Structure 1
Amino acid sequence: MSLRRVFVARLAGIAVFDPLGDQVGRVRDVVVSFSATRRKPRVLGLVVEVPGRRRVFVPITRVTSIDAGQVITTGLVNMRRFEQRPTESLVLAELLDRAVTVRQPAEEPFEATVEDLAIEQDRPREWSVTKVFVRRGHVSGSLSLRRLTGRRGETLIVDVLETAGLATRHQGQSAARLLEAYDDLKAADLAEVIHELAPGRRVEVASALDDEKLADVIEELPADDQIEILTHLETERAADVLEFMQPDDAADLLSELPEATQEHYLQHMEPDEAAPLRRLMAYDDNTAGGLMTPEAIILGPDATIAEALAWARREELSPALASLVCVCRPPLETPTGRYLGTVHIQRLLREPPHSALGSILDKELEPLQPTDSLGTVTRMLANYNLTGAPVVDEDGHLLGVVTVDDVLDHILPEDWREERHEVTHD
């Protein structure tokens, strides 16, 4: 039987089907094991992302066909969440960008970086790692992905038996190839991948992201992971990442740190970026002040509906924030001038584009006070079917907006991020 060779990086994100042609999910990684009694690393199975963003394990014995276009399984997929064992290695997450030594016959040994691994079928439903695609030289993991894309060095395919160090974890391993393989993932999904990595590898992968993407990913991680990553960054970079984060998320993260550390990071931020965080951190976490974000849509009463809709279309706004326009007297940065009222997105869509916001204000919605409890905020959103509500101080100046997603973050169990892939088994 002729051997089939497939490079693992090309499998990332491809569809997995059952025998009837129904899609089961998408490949997210390949699980292999190293053994002293086996010359070539053995393929144990695939990590497959199924609907609901669960990552499950599909043994290679249940894979009937695998190539760079699709994977066919027997259809028998255990939906239990994948949990990596100590004896297992993930090709994309751990082995790509690993430093190895290449020793070929009649050639001087040289140092190289793993760009990809090829797996081949030994016999029906048995696969092994056979080839390694390497680049001469090592790439430091401290560089950002954008700088890594210009890396140099000869590339070649060598036999896996001609490499040394593939099974050895090194400090400072790059994460460029891993992030390229997961380029299609949204921030929340990439956060899941990073969360499941070993602590050292987690920091390496997170550090390879650019500041804006890292900020988006950190917002989706559990608090322990957030602290681990932030505190391993250089101070200046940590401050830059905090500036890219949503102010309420950044304030929540800083609140988890000792006061001296909080102040250390705030001092390295731009003053106008640090000021909103200081205001948010002055409130208890479970109050409207602690829940709100100052980055709402805030316009004056003379602004037109067309202008408001243009603001609502901004990609960086969450759906909850985009659904509510707060109308205030200048200044229009929090804390604003006198708060006048709100306009909801549906009202904007029903009125002529040239109309002024001041003519269609909802003045009946009583704004929240920053000291209002989480329970008060929750009841208000539920009673009036709102996705967001304004927060004003005692003098009627707008301080920010509380959105339903921020409330959910606080009323769900603390470990909901870790459990969101869990399923119940009989």
Structure 2
Amino acid sequence: MSCKITGSVLPMSGSPGRVFIARLAGIAVFDPAGDQVGRVRDVVVALRLAPRPPRVLGLVVEVGPRRPVFLPITRVTVVEADAIVFDGRLNMRRFHKRESETLVIAEMLDRTVRFRASGEPVSVVDVAMEPTRTRDWLIGKVAVNRGRRGGRGRGLRRRGESLVVDFDAVEGFSAVEHGQGAAGLIAAFERMKPADLAGIVHELPEKRRTEVAVALDDERLADVLEELPEDDQVEILGKLEDDRAADVLEAMGPDDAADLLGELPTEQRERLLTLMEPRDAAPVRRLLTYADDSAGGLMTTDPVIVAPDATVAEALAQIRNPDLNPALAAQVYVCRPPTATPTGRYLGTVHFQRLLREPPPTLVSGIVDAELDPLRPTMSLAAVAMFLATYNLVAGAVVDEDGHLLGSVTIDDVLDHLLPEDWRETVMDASAEAPSDPEEEALRGGEGTR
């Protein structure tokens, strides 16, 4: 679906043409025909010697799954609250930040700078770009917060003052800062899917990557870790305190946590497992006993399980959980109590489509598919893949010799292991075969000293 975009440059804070950059994160980018080509990820600027404000070079636009490209600011024709329009020319070469360049959202937000006149430290909340008469864009304003301070009179504490100042009123953007926060960056990308945020985290410098990981809550960090290459996972987990690392592992799926722990030295792995809650550590320990490329090593121990006396309505209520992996939500497994893995006797599977065809009061035990033999935990990766392909399934039950359900293998985990080991890095790092863009090279070349 496409739409026509009309309008003029977005007015912000009462000043026509002023655009606060954090608000651009995630907004759609359209070509002149009104077709969406991607979304804004960041803004690229070149810091210059004071008192000259940074010059805006362009936008980082994500045009496909994890493919950021550079859009020169000279090609942007319209900036609106919910859309950016450019002239239609876009080089599909993957964006790589140069040493002379700075990413506003990834590197400037949350930075501690100082007022040039008083030396008072303040935290950067946002920065604003403004057009000039020559059609350049410069960073003209900085939104800062002085933090908390004590109130008077009633003895109350209040939030510090937030204010917008000229860029040349502060200093410190070019200095290396240790312990920089990440709240602003995270807020800018809070609506991103974990896989997309993982792409951004992967491309950050190691210092900034650690700061973002520390600032994310446990659930969000767990989701992002599951989408990162193994090297990034190990690096980030190693930068967390052990108690925090254990909490994040608890928030991950048991199969993903087991895969990550399997990459760690034995001593570190055992230390983290000991710090985890016993109910969370137990399934991870079981998974670690299986070979990585077996059904037992591939499975998750948290599929959707119902008792024989559950109704169709109750089964549907469980798979409506928005946090549930779509592959896991495609079927429920019917088992006698206990219904936590390893379960009582496995009776069979009821697929989502069958649930939709039956009246809500129907018992799942009456519609269970018991004809298909389940997977065994020792089955090889190739055998599991052939099983799913033969029966057109997105997941399969894993059952031991005594008939207890141990877990479920989903198609995404099979693909993860069938693809080359470095497939995540390839997706995140591969560059498109595109020629150099003379206008882009001219815009980005030598800007740090202009």
Q: Same fold (TM over 0.5)?
A: yes
Q: 1:112 to 1:317 in 2, by over 3 A?
A: same
Where does residue 277 of structure 2 map in the other structure?
270
**Residues 4-19 of structure 1: matches in 2 within 5 Å?**
4-19=17-32
| 1:186 maps to which of 163, 183, 193 | 193
Where does residue 171 of structure 2 map in the other structure?
164
| 1:133 maps to which of 132, 143, 159 | 143
Q: CA RMSD in A?
A: 2.1
**Residues 7-406 of structure 1: matches in 2 within 5 Å?**
7-36=20-49, 39-104=52-117, 108-137=118-147, 152-406=159-413
Runs of 5+ consecutive residues of structure 2 not aligned to the other structure:
1-14, 150-156, 435-450
Contact map agreement 1:280 1:290 (CA 8 A) in 2: yes
- Partners of 2:50 and 2:124 lie apart in 1 by 23
- Partners of 1:22 and 1:338 lie apart in 2 by 54
Contact map agreement 1:3 1:122 (CA 8 A) in 2: no
Once the 2 structures are TM-superposed, how far is the Cα of residue 67 of structure 1 from its aligned partner? 4.8
Given residue 297 of structure 1, which amino acid in structure 2 is its aligned partner? Answer: V
Larger relative contact order (CA 8 Å, sep ≥ 6): 2
SS in 1 for 2:369: coil
SS in 1 for 2:99: coil
1:425 correspondence with 2:438: no
- Partners of 2:24 and 2:357 lie apart in 1 by 47
Contact map agreement 2:50 2:168 (CA 8 A) in 1: no
- Partners of 1:209 and 1:59 lie apart in 2 by 31
Once the 2 structures are TM-superposed, how far is the Cα of residue 320 of structure 1 from its aligned partner? 0.8
Deviates more, 1:386-395 or 1:351-360: 351-360
Runs of 5+ consecutive residues of structure 1 not aligned to the other structure:
140-149
Q: 1:125 to 1:411 in 2, by over 3 A?
A: farther
Deviates more, 1:7-16 or 1:220-229: 7-16
Once the 2 structures are TM-superposed, how far is the Cα of residue 102 of structure 1 from its aligned partner? 0.7
SS in 2 for 1:319: coil
Contact map agreement 2:27 2:39 (CA 8 A) in 1: yes
Given residue 433 of structure 2, which amino acid in structure 1 is its aligned partner? Answer: H
Given residue 109 of structure 1, which amino acid in structure 2 is its aligned partner? Answer: G
**Number of positions where the alignment pairs a residue of Structure 1 with one of Structure 2:** 412
Once the 2 structures are TM-superposed, how far is the Cα of residue 314 of structure 1 from its aligned partner? 1.4
Deviations 1:355-374 (A, max 9, x none): 22222221221111111100
Once the 2 structures are TM-superposed, how far is the Cα of residue 25 of structure 1 from its aligned partner? 2.1
Deviations 1:285-325 (A, max 9, x none): 10000000110111222222221111111122111111121
- Partners of 1:240 and 1:94 lie apart in 2 by 27
Contact map agreement 2:92 2:432 (CA 8 A) in 1: no
The normalised TM-score by structure 2 is: 0.87
Q: Identity of counterpart residues, as a percentage?
A: 60
Contact map agreement 1:31 1:90 (CA 8 A) in 2: yes
Contact map agreement 1:296 1:401 (CA 8 A) in 2: yes
Where does residue 146 of structure 1 map in the other structure?
none
Where does residue 142 of structure 1 map in the other structure?
none
- Partners of 1:38 and 1:284 lie apart in 2 by 61
Once the 2 structures are TM-superposed, how far is the Cα of residue 160 of structure 1 from its aligned partner? 1.6
Once the 2 structures are TM-superposed, how far is the Cα of residue 137 of structure 1 from its aligned partner? 4.6
Q: 1:342 to 1:69 in 2, by over 3 A?
A: closer
- Partners of 1:299 and 1:339 lie apart in 2 by 10
